[in-house]
Amino acid sequence: MTKRNLIADVLRLKSERKALILAHNYQLPEIHAVADVIGDSLELALAARKATEPVLVVCGVRFMAETAGILNPGKTILLPVPDAGCPLADFLTPDLITRAKEEYPDAAVVVYINSTASCKAVADAVCTSGNALKVVRSLPQKQIIFGPDANLASYIRSFLPEKEIIPLPANGHCYVHAGFSEDDLSEMKKQGVSIIAHPECPEKIRNIADQIASTGKMAEIARKGKRWYICTEIGMLDRLGELCPDQIFFGDEFAVCADMKKTTLQELLSCLKDGSGEITLDPEIMKAARRSVDYMLDVPP
Ligand code: 13P
Ligand code: SF4
């Protein structure tokens, strides 16, 4: 089947099923072409919360679909490729959190949205890359157990020295964001290209960057008319190309998230046809996770 036919079928079934398609910025351009909402983790969560359609199809990875279910429990949540996961999220377990709480009884627990619903259920607050500083700053506790991304933990520590940030585990990281080369960035800078890095990048990369931003914020910054090297997953280059067709973006062709690339038009079509990939969560876990996600969404600007 041609791409054009697949797109037509997806759009027809989407309307028949009254489904809303939410796609992360890293998804393939053809998935963006059929999506109703495209954004970063926070933008997708907010759109899921206010959705009125009975079916929400999340083109992204599992934690994004779980978050949609947590925020809008009455809906059918479909993840077209059920094993599209996030290796960063896999670094953290509820058991690790429980043990850390025993070691640091006065600490608050903040988990990155890239975590399982079970981890969110035992946390005090969730955050995304876009609101991590705001969420951690808002908590009264000085000690913050933060997981699973140790790079994001060090990013928070650099802006909030008044807090004691305890990374959990100490080596949690995203393999995509860990791979950028300082030499490439220095070379780009010599050529007058500005750098935007995702907060998941290691400190040495963040230190060279001109800006540090979530993928949603990258889309805003990029409009400001420069040539940019983007330190995040390569799909962001396609997204920025869609938003700012007259600008030039560079990136690392090896920065590919294999899980984000699992969702194809064919997978999406099958999921809309047969309702496969439904995400169901234990109601108790959903209720407990909702508390920590709501904390994030309720923190004033
Ligand atoms: P954003 O929320 O910035 O889109 O990040 C999600 C993610 O998985 C980054 O790798
Ligand atoms: Fe997870 Fe990294 Fe992929 Fe984002 S890019 S979904 S953090 S593995």
CATH code, 220:
3.40.50.10800
| Statement to judge: residues 243 and 194 lie in one domain | yes
Cβ-contact 162, 143 below 8 angstroms: no
- What's the pLDDT score for residue 89? 98
| Statement to judge: residues 203 and 148 lie in one domain | no
Nearest CA to ligand 1 atom 6: 41
- What's the pLDDT score for residue 121? 98
Q: What is the mean pLDDT of residues 116-133?
A: 98
Ligand in closest contact with the CA of 148: 2
Q: What is the mean pLDDT of residues 121-127?
A: 98
Ligand in closest contact with the CA of 90: 2
Q: What is the mean pLDDT of residues 91-115?
A: 98
- The predicted-structure confidence for 238-286, as pLDDT tens digits, reads as follows 999 999 998 999 999 999 999 999 999 999 999 999 999 999 999 999 9
Does residue 85 line the site of ligand 2, with CB under 6 A? no
Cα 184 to ligand 1 centroid, rounded to whole Å:
22
Percent of the chain with pLDDT over 90: 97
Does residue 67 line the site of ligand 1, with CB under 6 A? no
**For the chain, how many structural domains are there in total?**
3
What DSSP character marks residue 106?
T
Ligand in closest contact with the CA of 88: 2
- What's the pLDDT score for residue 103? 98
- The predicted-structure confidence for 192-213, as pLDDT tens digits, reads as follows 999 999 999 999 999 999 999 9
Q: Which atom of ligand 1 is nearest to the CA of 214?
A: 3
Cα–Cα distance measured from residue 62 to residue 60, given in angstroms and rounded to the nearest whole number: 7
Does residue 290 lie within any of the structural domains? no
Nearest CA to ligand 2 atom 4: 86
Does residue 289 lie within any of the structural domains? no
Is the per-residue pLDDT at 120 higher than 90? yes
> Any idea which residue has 């206010």 for tokens?
50
Radius of gyration from C-alpha coordinates of the chain:
19
Tell me the best of 232, 293, 296 to mutate to test the pocket of ligand 1, counting ligand atoms within 8 Å of each CB and taking the most. Answer: 232
Cβ-contact 55, 20 below 8 angstroms: yes
Does residue 176 line the site of ligand 2, with CB under 6 A? yes
Q: Which two three-digit tokens encode residue 22?
A: 């939410």
Does residue 220 lie within any of the structural domains? yes
Does residue 14 lie within any of the structural domains? yes
Q: Which atom of ligand 1 is nearest to the CA of 39?
A: 4
Q: Which atom of ligand 2 is nearest to the CA of 177?
A: 2
Domain that residue 55 falls in: 3-86+260-280
| Statement to judge: residues 46 and 27 lie in one domain | yes
Name the band, by pLDDT with cuts 50, 70 and 90, for residue 301. Answer: confident
Does residue 114 line the site of ligand 2, with CB under 6 A? yes
Q: Give how far the C-alpha of residue 212 lies from the chain's centroid of Cα atoms, to the nearest Å.
A: 15
| Statement to judge: residues 69 and 31 lie in one domain | yes
**How many Cα atoms within 13 Å fall on the side-chain side of residue 218?**
33
Percent of the chain with pLDDT over 70: 100
Name the band, by pLDDT with cuts 50, 70 and 90, for residue 61. Answer: very high
Q: Which two three-digit tokens encode residue 236?
A: 């962001």
Does residue 294 lie within any of the structural domains? no
- What's the pLDDT score for residue 1? 84
Does residue 124 line the site of ligand 1, with CB under 6 A? no
Cα–Cα distance measured from residue 243 to residue 142, given in angstroms and rounded to the nearest whole number: 40
Cα 175 to ligand 2 centroid, rounded to whole Å:
8
- What's the pLDDT score for residue 226? 78
Ligand in closest contact with the CA of 46: 1
**Axis crossing angle, helix 215-222 with helix 235-243, rounded to the nearest 10:** 40
Does residue 270 lie within any of the structural domains? yes
- What's the pLDDT score for residue 57? 98
Q: Which atom of ligand 2 is nearest to the CA of 89?
A: 1
Q: Are strands 37-39 and 125-127 parallel, antiparallel or unpaired?
A: unpaired
| Statement to judge: residues 99 and 137 lie in one domain | yes
Q: Give how far the C-alpha of residue 108 lies from the chain's centroid of Cα atoms, to the nearest Å.
A: 22
Is the per-residue pLDDT at 225 higher than 80? no
Does residue 288 lie within any of the structural domains? no
**How many Cα atoms within 13 Å fall on the side-chain side of residue 150?**
11
Cβ-contact 136, 161 below 8 angstroms: no
- Please give the mean pLDDT across all residues of the chain: 97
Does residue 300 lie within any of the structural domains? no
Q: What is the mean pLDDT of residues 277-297?
A: 97
Cβ-contact 119, 95 below 8 angstroms: no
Question: Which H or E element spans position 111?
Answer: strand 108-112
- What's the pLDDT score for residue 300? 83
Does residue 131 line the site of ligand 1, with CB under 6 A? no
User: CA geometry: angle at 114 spanning 113 and 118, to 5°?
Assistant: 80
- The predicted-structure confidence for 145-190, as pLDDT tens digits, reads as follows 999 999 999 999 999 999 999 999 999 999 999 999 999 999 999 9
Does residue 234 line the site of ligand 2, with CB under 6 A? no
- The predicted-structure confidence for 87-96, as pLDDT tens digits, reads as follows 999 999 999 9
Nearest CA to ligand 1 atom 4: 40
Ligand in closest contact with the CA of 89: 2
